[in-house]
Structure formats: structure tokens, C-alpha cells
Structure 1
């Protein structure tokens, strides 16, 4: 069986706090800050709800990533969602992002690198974006916490340019692996 290629499908940014982001040809990741020109770029938290609680918190949500396979799943449930529609900076293919362990690194091309910090918390903005979508983003389980499908958050460990078509290398942390939690 051939190994699946892990790649960048799309990249996006938005200088304002809009729900969806603007697709662009490339983004620049700034070490310790996030996506250049994005409203969530910075050393301290930029998400408005978290700023209200404590604006001095470290920004563990510098880069938002979603797997394109989620869009295929949502399409089966009647939702047409395109890359950047859910506010992600990087849309990937070939990697099960939400099941990566905390501390996993993703290297893009031969340049940029991010460290996965946790899961994106599904919020009411998803429901405002498309009625009924929030229910699709949270999969209940009887014997465990629900599966949150809204992507993962990361911090930039090495700056550089990321563009559509870039290969992604996944580097797992040493075991035991820690499951991702909401950040």
C-alpha cells in the first residue's frame, strides 16, 4: 500500500477578527507570534473571549489548522464548506490532525515549523456561520469525552513561508503521548 502524501491544501489569513479568513497564495509564519498579517498574531492571546478573561495569557492559538477531509465529511451532511471558511490558517490533507498528540511538530516544506498545542474549542460562531453545523463539529461518545472536529491550534517554533502544495512532515514527541485538550 502506498504511503499517503501529507500536504498543504490551502493557506489563509485575515487582519480583522472575522470568522472566515481570506485565501492567499502563501502565508508567513513568524516564530513565537503566528501568521503575519493575521488578527491572532502575537505572543499573548488574541481571541477576544480570552482577552476579556486575561490579556496576558500566552498565545497557544497562533495558527489554526483543519484537515480537508473534514470538509468531505461535512459535505455528506449537506454542508458546503471551503478552505478558510472555518477560520483556519492552514488546510491540510493526509493527516488526522485532531488525533495528533500534544507537542507534535509539523514541518512545512523545508522552512516553517509549528508545535501542536491543543484542540480548537467549537463555539457558537460556527452555528452562526451555518445553522446546524455546530452539531456536526462535536461527536458525542458514551464512554469518553466528545470528539471535537474543529481543528487544532499551534504555536510557531520556526518561522518561514507556507504555501499550497507544501509537503508536511510530522514529528511525534517522545512517548507517552498526551491527548489533545481544548486550548
Structure 2
């Protein structure tokens, strides 16, 4: 199950969207070099307010480009970086991956998937009604989060559009992704 990077994004200031770049550099144990969410401890404002000493399990945010096509069908126009992700992919079912999956990206970089992004109300600030498109409920009433996955950097490296994403599933029993 291989995919491809279609865009990379980062922002050095708090903003909902992240500008696309020609490349980003992942730093082991930190995240995206020059990104406001990079660091060993949490950087997302809501989590800092709760406990600034929490480990940063949200160093790198990945979204599948297929989500943009899905929400386009409901009348929303969303492009790479506009939901705050660092890496946009195609061809990998990110939401179906188990916790602990390693994603080998490009020549050197490796990130470990820690969980699902928990979308917030800022999404409706970006486009009213979009939050309901990326968070819903399944037939049994369980919450379904579709706004990508979060990860930590295990091995640093440069990531560019066109880089291959190779999936390495964890050994042993697979644990489904939960929100982080």
C-alpha cells in the first residue's frame, strides 16, 4: 500500500491554513522545521491551555487528498494546506491505518501515526458547514473523524511533492486510531 505526497505545507505563525512549500524538513522528535506546531511538548493552543507539559503527539498532520474531492461533492472547495495539514497524500487510506503505523516518506523521513486529528470549530470559521463534512456519525452513532491523522517524527528528512509514501504496519495486534 504505497501512496504519494501531493503537497507539503508549514507555517511559522498560528493560522488555520498553512502555505504550500516546495519542501519541508522533518526533524526527529520535533516535527516540521519552522512550523509553529513543532516541538517535544504540545503546541496546539487548546492543549497548551490544558497542560503545556503534555508530549506532542501532533508534530506532523497528514491529510488524504481524496477528502478534498469528497467535500467538493458537497459544495466545498478545499485545497492542500487549507485544513492546516503539513503533508497531503494520495493513495493511502490514512484513516484506516492502525496506531503505530510507520510512514516512510521520500528518501529518509519516517513518521509514526499517533491518532486521528480531532477537528475543531475553526473549520467552520474557514468555511461554514465544513465541520459536518469532516466529522460525522456512522450507522451505529459512533463519531467518525475524517480530517486526517497526526504523527511524530521518528527519522528526519526532506519531504517534497512527488515523494513516495510507503506504509509499514506495526507488528502484532493492531489498535485502531483514536483522537489525539
TM interval, short-chain normalised: over 0.9
Counterparts of 1:175 and 1:85, CA distance in 2: 36
Gaps of 5+ in 1: none
In structure 2, what is the equivalent of residue 72 of structure 1? 69
1:28-177 mapped onto 2 (5 Å cutoff): 28-143=25-140, 145-177=142-174
TM-score (norm 1): 0.96
Residue 27 in 1 paired to residue 30 in 2?
no
Match of 2:177 among 166, 176, 180: 180
RMSD: 1.0
Match of 2:15 among 6, 18, 21: 18
Number of residue pairs matched? 180
Match of 2:6 among 5, 9, 12: 9
Counterparts of 2:36 and 2:107, CA distance in 1: 26
135-144 or 56-65: which moved more? 135-144
Measured after TM superposition, the shift of residue 122 of structure 1 is: 1.2
Counterparts of 2:19 and 2:58, CA distance in 1: 18
TM-score (norm 2): 0.97
Measured after TM superposition, the shift of residue 147 of structure 1 is: 1.3
Counterparts of 1:5 and 1:44, CA distance in 2: 30
Q: Secondary structure at the match of 1:154?
A: strand
Counterparts of 1:180 and 1:85, CA distance in 2: 23
Q: Secondary structure at the match of 1:116?
A: strand
Gaps of 5+ in 2: none
**Cα distance per residue 1:53-88 (max 9 Å; x no partner):** 110000000000000000010110101101000000
